[in-house]
Chains A and B, each alone.
Chain A
Amino acid sequence: MNLILGMDLGVFLAWIGTLLVTVLCIIYGLYYQFIKKTQEEQPPVSSNDEPKNSKEDQ
């Protein structure tokens, strides 16, 4: 059986896939850190902390 870095194809795909998906995470972070400017959001729309009384709960 042909082995890649000592692993068969199915295991090698998992191995390299794990590393590549980590690279994807890093690129995502770099993109939002240096390229894309995100808007800082507004304060909460609602701060209503009252206990609710829905029809179902009455």
Chain B
Amino acid sequence: MDVVFFVISIGIFAAVFFFLGYLGYRKTKTAEDYFVAGRTMGALLVAFSYGATFISAVALIGFSGIASVYGHSILWLAFLNIFVGIFIAFVVYGLRTRKMGLSLNAMTLPEMLGNRFNSVRIQQVSGLIIAVFMVAYTSAVFLAIASLFQVTFAIPYEVCVVIFTLIVGIYLIVGGQYAVMWTHAVQAIVMLVGMIILTVMIYAMLGGIVPAHEAAAAMTPEMLASIGSPAATQAPNGLTSMPPFLSQPFMMILTLIFGVGIGVLAQPQLITRYLTAKNEKALRLAVPYGGIFILLMTFTAFSIGPLCNVLMYRNNIMYPTKVVAGVMTANPDAVVPTIVNDLFPTWFILIFLFAILAAAMSTAAALFHTAGAAIGRDVYEKSVKNRISPEKSILITRIATFIIVIATLIISLNPFDVVAFMTAFFFGLMACTFLAPYTLMLYWKKTNRLGVWVGMLGGFLFTIAWYVLIYFKTAPKIIGSPLVGNYMINMLDPIFIGLPLSFLLTILCSILSKQDKTEETIMKKSFESISK
């Protein structure tokens, strides 16, 4: 593809975002404007922003690649993405979060926890956990997208990283949450267009839905092995069948489905979206918009992944590979880009790249904003004794966000192994750390400060320990090999144990200790606001 044309297109793309950043700057007058877009967002904007934050480039390219390895059984994740990630998230969590957030005058998840349990330290510690792990996660998002552009356009990796980080950093620091939400709407539309065309064209190439699925089902392990596809061994019952119960592929899919599917409920960058809604109705109406958006993102991505094997087999394309530690291994991340590059017209390659770029930018913007707020508002501001004016609060968070952007840039330019596995455990870690305190804060009046401390830190430390010592995907990279060995327990995502443990600790400690008078008063006020 013509690089000059691409550069001009990306210039226009960036100009639109800068303009929205400028409009956001003009509209931002108070801290509430900067952190939660003045709590004025309608249903469509909330849904698009939530969806664009939720679905990153990793989700589109990475998960369709994973689907090419494990087959259509990964569609259970699409089911959970919509049922848990949208329906349960908005109806069970979103409505209460917004009401309680208003009552507590909170604009971030740490601030909600801190204000609800009358503890500045809970706010600071949770803010710090979020900021540290988000920087690593954001740099992984950029790492993936920069690698894609490096392969497609031969643009040096460093140039890609610097350009992407600067574009996102500038419009977000200047325009705050307004700019983030508005750019999310544009990015969501680009993502929708890209994924719809990609899916329709792939199914059309294979003759329609049923013929495509039948062709995938007819792929034998020998046929898959002939193109070098790992599905030959990882989808033993075929690409359109569930793997054998409790087999290694089954456990992989199970852990992925629940790790990501349930983990979505406690993502601070997503929880912030509820707080931006202008009223209860906007949140309720965001449910259908969000459901359709996620359907058109994950259902499509997971459906086409296995079909790429059929396209590669019919067109004599070998499954993409990469060299890891001197060994040639299959590279699922490159499956969809390879199919698009080899089989699609040039005009679509451009649309596809912009869709992936939009997915990466939207997720990164929300992560930067949340991490900046965590450092600026939750950690720094709360360590200052004097009251801070709204203008100064915004300035502090802008500076904090700038530092986060620079830190992400430095890590992205010098990627080390830790970044790669932090992506894998970001969702699980956030869920095991925050889901229990957050859920119980919303639904159980007896939850108290001690319970939240123990549940939060217990879940956090357990998850870190599990990833470092036992989990088969991360432990080998950190300590050389898993502590236990090659057993089923090594394949178990910590969310299966860490999450119940965190709930148990929060409940037990809340039963064993009592709320103080101030906590009790705040609790009553919070629950009164919910019942109104």
Contact = CB atoms under 8 A, between A and B. Distances in A.
Interface string A14-39: 11011101101110111011000011
A10 B261 CA distance: 18
Contacts of B295: 18-19, 22
A8 B240 contact: yes
Given A6-B213, A52-B118, A30 B288 contact: yes
Contacts of A22: 82, 291-292, 295
Is the interface on chain B under 10, 10 to 19, 20 to 34, or 35 or more residues? 35 or more
Contacts of A55: 516
B391 to A, nearest CB: 13
A24 B516 contact: no
B439 interface: no
A53 B114 CA distance: 11
B287 A11 contact: no
Interface in B94-137: 99, 102-105, 114-115, 118-121
B382 A54 contact: no
A5 B215 CA distance: 11
Interface in B56-102: 71-73, 75-76, 78-79, 82-83, 86-87, 91, 99, 102
A57 B119 contact: yes
B217 A25 contact: no
A41 B82 CA distance: 27
Nearest to B115: A52
B121 A50 contact: no
B411 interface: no
A6 B214 contact: yes
A52 B102 CA distance: 17
Nearest to A10: B242
Interface stretch (B152-160, B278-286, B465-473, B491-499): B278-286
Contacts of B82: 18, 21-22, 25
A48 B121 CA distance: 18
A21 B525 contact: no
Interface residues of A, number: 42
A54 B210 CA distance: 63
B217 A7 contact: yes
A1 B71 CA distance: 17
A25 B87 contact: yes
A46 B284 contact: no
B241 A26 contact: no
Contacts of A56: 119, 121, 449
Contact of A28 (B104, B241, B284, B518): B284
A11 B75 contact: yes
Contacts of B426: none
B291 A32 contact: no
Which of A19, A21, A26 counts the most chain B CB atoms within 10 A?
A21
Given A3-B240, A25-B288, A46 B105 contact: yes
B120 A57 contact: yes
B401 to A, nearest CB: 20
Contacts of A45: 102-103, 525, 528-529
Nearest to A57: B120
B287 A28 contact: yes
- The 9 tightest CB contacts between A and B, nearest first, are A6-B213, A25-B291, A29-B288, A10-B242, A14-B75, A8-B241, A6-B214, A32-B284, A54-B118
Given A11-B73, A25-B82, A57-B120, 7 more contacts: A8-B241, A19-B295, A21-B291, A28-B287, A28-B288, A38-B280, A51-B387
Interface of A: 1, 3, 5-8, 10-11, 14-15, 17-19, 21-22, 24-26, 28-30, 32-33, 38-42, 44-57
Interface of B: 71-73, 75-76, 78-79, 82-83, 86-87, 91, 99, 102-105, 114-115, 118-121, 209-217, 237-238, 240-242, 279-281, 284-285, 287-292, 295, 299, 381-382, 384-385, 387, 449, 516, 518, 525, 528-529, 532
20 contacts: A6-B212, A7-B240, A7-B241, A25-B87, A25-B288, A26-B288, A28-B91, A41-B99, A41-B532, A45-B103, A46-B104, A46-B105, A51-B387, A52-B115, A52-B118, A52-B119, A52-B120, A54-B118, A54-B518, A55-B516
